[in-house]
């Protein structure tokens, strides 16, 4: 299959579509990659859907912590569905073209959902901070109205900025090669194809990363520094272990998501190659959403117990109808 490619020296040509290079450097394992990513997508959909259903039907999980967890699981399904179906389509058909409009929409939804994830993780850390550091005021501070407001704020707060960010990126003139050395429309990869001065766009990207990634991450670190200090003051080892188990699952998710994202966006590009970019991007776009249900169900005793109860009910109903 032949694709249109605008050469760098052909500055009179305006790009009308992009071409993902994706994993084209691995031609012999395209089928394996399709199978692997398909399996990962199924795990993400089933695992996160299970958590949503369990939180909705199990009365013991009617708490702010699990309200945010259900929101987070739904977010993960939406977040991964922005990029992974397109990756699977490209691997299956080997048609890696994407028009500018589709690329812009993918970038727009990716940025909004990534910002939502950053804010929601910060809100979840605040919930843990109040639960452990101010347990007597927990029911008052984390009342249903406040929880709903924080969840809605996490979902909506990034939309105006990300609309502007997407419009700014796609207002640039693309007249170089139309080959995106990535597997989805991400800002750094797109900016490499732009003509002229992109310094203002790059500066606005850094500001957005500081506001939507670094700032929530600093809030999370502040919350956990207070949490750890409070836990270490608990008189019994049992109390400390219980408190740590409550927070450890969330902390693992934070490290996986923010660690890979910050390294990818803030490391000098001279240090790492496009292959490294793709590997790091896989962590915060696919790997973390896949492991989240496992982390929360295996490390959280309440979720694990609720999951066992649901599975027991399902198995008992199945046995009755045999």
Give the per-residue pLDDT at 163.
93
- 86, two tokens: 């397109």
Decide which of 3.30.565.10, 3.30.1370.10, 3.60.21.10, 1.20.1070.10 is the CATH code for 17-317: 1.20.1070.10
Tell me what pLDDT residue 8 has: 46
| Banded model confidence at residue 12, pLDDT cuts 50, 70, 90 | very low
Token code pair at residue 57: 């039907």
If you ran DSSP here, which 8-state letter would residue 14 be given? Answer: P
pTM of the model: 0.87
**SS3 letters for 208-255?**
HHHHHHHHHHHHHHHHHHHHHHHHHCCCCHHHHHHHHHHHHHHHHHHH
Q: What is the pLDDT of residues 205-215, one digit of tens each?
A: 889 988 998 89
What is the predicted pLDDT for the residue at 91? 92
Q: What is the pLDDT of residues 143-191, one digit of tens each?
A: 999 999 999 999 999 999 999 999 999 988 887 678 988 889 988 888 8
What confidence score (pLDDT) does residue 155 get?
Answer: 96
Read off the tokens for 178. Answer: 């139309």
Predicted confidence band of residue 9 (pLDDT cuts 50, 70, 90): very low
Extents of the domains making up the chain: 17-317
Three-state SS at 158? coil
The tokens describing 80, both together, are 């991964």
The answer to whether 67 touches 149, Cβ cutoff 8 Å, is no
Contacts of 103 (CB under 8 A, 6+ apart): 18, 170, 185, 190
Q: What is the mean pLDDT of the chain?
A: 84
Positive/negative CA dihedral, 189, 191, 194, 195: negative
* pLDDT, greater one: 269 or 256: 256
- Of residues 306 and 267, more confidence is placed in 306
- Do residues 147 and 69 make contact, with C-beta atoms less than 8 angstroms apart? no
């Amino acid at each position: 299959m032949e694709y249109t490619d605008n050469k760098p020296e052909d500055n009179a040509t305006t790009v009308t579509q992009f071409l993902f290079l994706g994993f084209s450097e691995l031609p012999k394992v395209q089928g394996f990659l399709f199978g692997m990513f398909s399996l990962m997508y199924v795990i993400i959909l089933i695992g996160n859907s299970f958590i949503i259903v369990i939180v909705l039907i199990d009365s013991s999980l009617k708490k702010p912590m699990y309200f945010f967890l259900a929101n987070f699981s739904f977010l993960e399904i939406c977040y991964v569905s922005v990029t992974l179906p397109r990756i699977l389509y490209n691997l299956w058909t080997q048609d890696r073209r994407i028009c500018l409009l589709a690329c812009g929409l993918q970038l727009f939804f990716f940025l909004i959902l990534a910002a939502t994830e950053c804010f929601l993780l910060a809100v979840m850390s605040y919930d843990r901070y109040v639960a452990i550091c101010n347990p007597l005021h927990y029911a008052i501070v984390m009342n249903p109205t406040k929880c709903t407001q924080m969840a809605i704020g996490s979902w909506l707060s990034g939309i105006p900025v990300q609309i502007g960010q997407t419009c700014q990126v796609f207002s640039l003139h693309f007249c170089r090669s139309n080959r995106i050395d990535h597997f989805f429309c991400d800002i750094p990869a797109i900016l490499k194809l732009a003509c002229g001065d992109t310094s203002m766009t790059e500066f606005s990207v850094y500001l957005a990363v500081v506001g939507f990634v670094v700032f929530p991450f600093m809030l999370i670190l502040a919350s956990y520094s207070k949490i750890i200090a409070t836990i270490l003051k608990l008189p019994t080892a049992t109390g400390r272990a219980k408190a740590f188990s409550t927070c450890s699952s969330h902390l693992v998710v934070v490290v996986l998501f923010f660690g890979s994202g910050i390294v990818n966006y803030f490391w000098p590009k001279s240090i790492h190659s496009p292959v490294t970019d793709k590997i790091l991007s896989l962590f915060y776009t696919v790997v973390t959403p896949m492991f989240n249900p496992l982390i929360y169900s295996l490390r959280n005793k309440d979720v694990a117990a609720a999951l066992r109860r649901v599975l027991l009910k399902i198995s008992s109903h199945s046995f009755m109808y045999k």
